[in-house]
Amino acid sequence: MVAACGGGTESDTTSTTADSGDTSTTEETTTTTTEDDDGDSVDIGDIPEECLDAFVEYLQAIESSVEGIDWENATAADFEELGTAIEPISVEYEETIAGSQCEDIEVVATDEETFDFLIELAQDEAPGTVGYLEMIRDLAGQFGGGAGTEVSGDCETDISAMQAMIDQGGTMDDLTMAELTAVGTLVTSISTNCSQDRSFEFFSQDDVSAFLSG
């Protein structure tokens, strides 16, 4: 979603590109100035009107699919179903901007500025998508090092934390996005901080394999 409005090219901005209508976030919190970008760099308030119009049409097209969803409790399965529903709309959006200046434009803005701009635009033009954008904003913060990403860094402690989640029953498909983020950071920590043998032993458990397979 954020990708549809272009990306930053200067320090302390987050880079996004305008060549996809799919939901997209980046784990980088800063980018470095690039001199060989093919796209034109503009401030967020100077995005060409035709690009904004195309994006507004995209928001309005997905509005009926995303409004009314309880994002706080939405599971991975819910997101997969939603992705299937809006994929044709995203493809149509990509085709709309293909070959235009909107495809390569680079918007210089921080994460906060970008999300504030998108949410304000949505409030005016497609209010049913505001919750969706706010969810993406919060999820981007989690993957970028915000809430929900804390782990101990100790092998056995993080194995115990992940085992506790597994013992609750269900699979990855039953988790909310916040819980999926926590699982992802635990998996990374276990893979990094445990010995190869201990990590392999844990992830080879039947209950762990079943949980991660969804």
Task: Give per-residue pLDDT as tens, 111-158.
Answer: 889 899 999 999 999 999 999 998 888 776 655 444 444 678 899 999
Extract the tokens encoding 64.
Answer: 């009926």
Between residues 69 and 139, the one the model is more confident about? 69
Say yes or no: 182 and 133 in one domain.
no
How far apart CA 34 and CA 120 sit, in angstroms, is 29
Same domain, 130 and 197: no
pLDDT of residue 14: 37
Domain end: 143, 173, 191, which one? 143
User: What is the average pLDDT value for the chain, to the nearest integer?
Assistant: 78
Question: 25 and 130, same structural domain?
Answer: yes
User: Residues 8-22: pLDDT tens digits?
Assistant: 333 343 333 334 344
How many domains does the structure of the chain reveal?
Answer: 2
Q: Do residues 33 and 101 share a domain?
A: yes
Identify the bridge partners of residue 106 per DSSP, sorted by sequence position: 41
Q: Residue 177 belongs to what domain range? A: 155-213
56-60, 136-140, 205-209, 210-214, range with the lowest pLDDT: 136-140
- Please name the helix (run of DSSP H) or strand (run of DSSP E) that holds residue 124, with its range, or none: helix 111-125
* More confidently predicted of 29 and 181: 181
From first CA to last CA, the distance across the chain in angstroms is: 25
Distance of CA 125 to the CA centre of its chain: 22
Q: Is residue 149 part of a domain?
A: no
This prediction's pTM: 0.59
Asked if 4 contacts 18 with a C-beta cutoff of 8 angstroms, the reply is yes
Q: Classify residue 148: in a domain, yes or no.
A: no
Rg of the chain on CA atoms, in Å: 19
Same domain assignment for residues 108 and 161: no
